[in-house]
């Protein structure tokens, strides 16, 4: 009898100190991370009739080396995307209260974290009608969170999303999104991360940004969806049968606007200039030239990118030099031109990362699908684009680079995932495991290339 009583008392004490997960809608549990504010009826409530979640959270913030918020979550292994439409309900104590979606390594206050959140309003001006959307992230447990922000245009974000793509070897690609009413827009990415575990917490988060006032904030979430990541996908019917000529390399063409600081110069003007040979104002393009290069590694002036040892000049913009030197363009700072690099690329099925280190912006299209674009106006720096190939095959690749004023350079690269970490190489560097690329030259150029004229032939219009 005493033994049974002892076991019963021990079991009661054990249960009293144990917290059990309680499913809430599609989520396995809802709990405070760090400090929050308990409310009557629970901090997360699910209305099954309307498929709406009401999440109430207190706490100081999702920021710095600690987080304090209410989190409704489920554990998900591998690649995942969560999206939702958050809306604040009732009184919110602080402009920087945050509600949104989150992917988290653990329930520790300083956990590695990535989320797309909507603050209550703009703290400096008190404008609550046009809140910012933030990509909040903490890359390591000893780091403070940073944020990349974007503004809604006229209206606040209707929905937010964050996704993680598991690339293998312990690396993940994490990206945040917002929909302002015209479709999903990327808020940026933190690619090639090493510190997310195979299984992560995925869910809805709310903090009141009012730790010492014991005042909670409530947001209702509709359109909650957890599923596969959405990335640019190259369909099977986009492949080409063969790569004509089988000549490793790229067709590179450049054309310049015949005026200084042309009005309206940007991606739209770049595309018209390359498509028609004339700028939108009617001015013809000048100094047009083209040639075939083994790699796309062009330099005019400014930053040298990451592969400066293999630099070449911009066709038509700078005189072509047959021997490589440190500064092939002599820093003459040419401006207001566009560059187009085309090739036929062989891609295996699955995820790929291709991008550009450019000054200014670059747009890359594969098989007719835009896989990504950098900011129009930027300094030299890498822009990486993740995409999916449905079926192994040969595909057309077009990269278009815009040059305004100041520095100008363009490198096309590929990022390979290896057991030793990410490896960035020039696109087409098959010696280091890269995807094969083949130029598509004009028939006359093919004949000249047979005489050993690679990279020396093209057309010029001045």
pLDDT of residue 386 exceeding 50: yes
Whole-number Å distance between alpha carbons of 296 and 203: 42
pLDDT of residue 130 exceeding 90: no
358 neighbors 373 (Cβ within 8 angstroms) = no
Q: For the residues 31-59, what does the mean pLDDT come to?
A: 88
| More confident call, 210 vs 325 | 210
Band of residue 322 on the pLDDT scale cut at 50, 70, 90: very low
Number of H helices, E strands in the chain: 3, 31
Taking all residues of the chain, what is their mean pLDDT, rounded to a whole number? 84
Written as six digits, the tokens of 405 are 């004023």
Low-confidence winner among 27-41, 171-185, 382-396 (lowest mean pLDDT): 27-41
pLDDT of residue 128 exceeding 80: no
144 neighbors 138 (Cβ within 8 angstroms) = yes
Instruction: Say which residue the tokens 């995409």 belong to.
Output: 387
pLDDT of residue 326: 47
Hey, do 20-230 and 238-461 end up sharing a CATH topology, with the first three levels equal? yes
Main-chain phi, psi angles of 145, to 5 degrees: -75, 145
pLDDT of residue 60 exceeding 80: yes
What SS3 class is residue 176? strand
Among 427, 288, 273, 291, CA closest to 358:
427
Written as six digits, the tokens of 178 are 């917002």
| More confident call, 94 vs 269 | 269
Among 374, 370, 371, 372, CA closest to 361:
374
Whole-number Å distance between alpha carbons of 376 and 349: 30
The model's pLDDT over 296-318, given as tens digits with 9 standing for 90+, comes to 999 998 888 999 888 888 998 88
Written as six digits, the tokens of 7 are 């076991």
| Count of CB atoms situated within 10 Å of the CB of 332 | 11
- What are the boundaries of each domain within the chain? 20-230, 238-461
Q: What percent of the chain has pLDDT over 90?
A: 54
pLDDT of residue 243 exceeding 60: yes
Whole-number Å distance between alpha carbons of 236 and 395: 10
Q: Is 325 exposed, middle or buried (0-12, 13-18, 19+ CB in 10 A)?
A: exposed
pLDDT of residue 172 exceeding 90: yes
The model's pLDDT over 275-294, given as tens digits with 9 standing for 90+, comes to 999 887 777 888 899 999 99
161 neighbors 101 (Cβ within 8 angstroms) = yes
| More confident call, 339 vs 141 | 339
Band of residue 329 on the pLDDT scale cut at 50, 70, 90: low
The model's pLDDT over 68-87, given as tens digits with 9 standing for 90+, comes to 999 999 999 999 999 999 99
| More confident call, 16 vs 88 | 88
Kindly report the CATH number that applies to the domain delimited by 238-461. 2.60.120.380
Instruction: Say which residue the tokens 């109430």 belong to.
Output: 56
pLDDT of residue 417 exceeding 80: yes
Main-chain phi, psi angles of 270, to 5 degrees: -60, -45
pLDDT of residue 39 exceeding 90: no
What SS3 class is residue 369? strand
pLDDT of residue 254: 96
Whole-number Å distance between alpha carbons of 80 and 104: 12
Distance of CA 215 to the CA centre of its chain: 35
| More confident call, 27 vs 260 | 27
Main-chain phi, psi angles of 250, to 5 degrees: -130, 145
Whole-number Å distance between alpha carbons of 442 and 165: 40
CATH of 20-230, one of 2.60.120.200, 1.10.10.10, 3.90.1210.10, 1.10.150.120: 2.60.120.200
| More confident call, 212 vs 327 | 212
Q: What percent of the chain has pLDDT over 70?
A: 82
At 286, which helix (H) or strand (E)?
strand 285-293
Written as six digits, the tokens of 184 are 């999903």
From residue 199, alpha-carbon distances to 40, 73, 123, 162 in Å are 32, 12, 35, 15
| Count of CB atoms situated within 10 Å of the CB of 450 | 9
100 neighbors 86 (Cβ within 8 angstroms) = yes
pLDDT of residue 389 exceeding 90: yes
pLDDT of residue 327 exceeding 50: no
Question: Please, what sign has the CA dihedral across residues 209, 211, 212, 214?
Answer: positive
Whole-number Å distance between alpha carbons of 190 and 204: 20
The pTM (predicted TM-score) of the whole model is: 0.85
Main-chain phi, psi angles of 8, to 5 degrees: -65, -45
Whole-number Å distance between alpha carbons of 313 and 248: 19
Band of residue 253 on the pLDDT scale cut at 50, 70, 90: very high
Buried b (16+ CB within 10 A) or exposed e, 24-54: bbbbbbbbbbbbbbeeeeebbbbeeeeebbb
pLDDT of residue 155: 62
């Amino acid at each position: 009898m005493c033994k049974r009583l002892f076991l019963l008392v021990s079991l009661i004490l054990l249960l009293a100190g144990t917290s059990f997960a309680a499913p809430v809608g599609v989520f396995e549990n809802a709990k405070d991370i760090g400090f929050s504010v308990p409310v009557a009826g629970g901090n997360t409530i699910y209305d099954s009739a309307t498929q709406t979640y009401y999440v109430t959270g207190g706490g100081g913030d999702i920021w710095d080396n600690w987080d304090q918020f209410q989190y409704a979550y489920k554990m998900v292994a591998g690649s995942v995307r969560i999206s939702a439409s958050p809306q604040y309900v009732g009184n919110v104590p602080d402009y920087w209260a945050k509600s949104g979606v989150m992917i988290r390594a653990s329930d520790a206050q300083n956990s590695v974290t990535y989320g797309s959140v909507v603050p209550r309003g703009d703290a400096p001006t008190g404008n609550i009608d046009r809140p910012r959307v933030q990509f909040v992230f903490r890359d390591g447990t000893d780091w403070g969170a940073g944020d990349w922000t974007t503004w809604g245009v006229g209206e606040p974000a209707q929905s937010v999303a964050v996704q993680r793509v598991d690339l293998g070897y312990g690396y993940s690609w994490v990206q945040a999104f917002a929909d302002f009413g015209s479709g999903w827009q990327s808020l940026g990415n933190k690619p090639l991360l090493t510190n997310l575990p195979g299984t992560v917490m995925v869910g809805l988060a709310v903090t009141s940004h009012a730790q010492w006032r014991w005042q909670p904030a409530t947001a209702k979430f509709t359109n909650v969806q957890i599923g596969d990541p959405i990335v640019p996908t190259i369909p099977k019917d986009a492949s080409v049968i063969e790569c004509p000529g089988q000549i490793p390399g790229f067709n590179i063409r450049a054309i310049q606007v015949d005026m200084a600081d042309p009005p309206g110069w940007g991606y739209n003007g770049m595309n018209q200039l390359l498509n028609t040979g004339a700028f939108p104002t009617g001015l013809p393009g000048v100094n047009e030239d083209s040639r075939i290069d083994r790699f796309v590694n062009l330099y005019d002036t400014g930053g040298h990118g990451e592969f400066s040892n293999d630099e070449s000049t911009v066709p038509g913009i700078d005189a072509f030099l047959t021997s490589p030197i440190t500064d092939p363009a002599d820093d003459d700072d040419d401006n207001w031109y566009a560059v187009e690099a085309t090739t036929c690329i062989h891609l295996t099925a699955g995820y790929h990362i291709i991008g550009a280190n450019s000054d200014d912006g670059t747009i890359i299209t594969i098989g007719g699908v835009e896989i990504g674009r950098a900011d129009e106006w930027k300094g030299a720096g890498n822009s990486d684009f993740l995409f999916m190939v449905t079926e192994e095959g040969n595909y057309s690749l077009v990269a278009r680079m815009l040059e305004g004023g100041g520095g100008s350079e363009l490198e096309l690269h590929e990022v390979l995932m290896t057991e030793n970490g990410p490896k960035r190489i020039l696109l087409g560097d098959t010696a280091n495991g890269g995807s094969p690329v083949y130029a598509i030259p004009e028939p006359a150029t093919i004949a000249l290339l047979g005489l050993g004229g690679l990279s020396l032939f093209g057309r010029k219009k001045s």
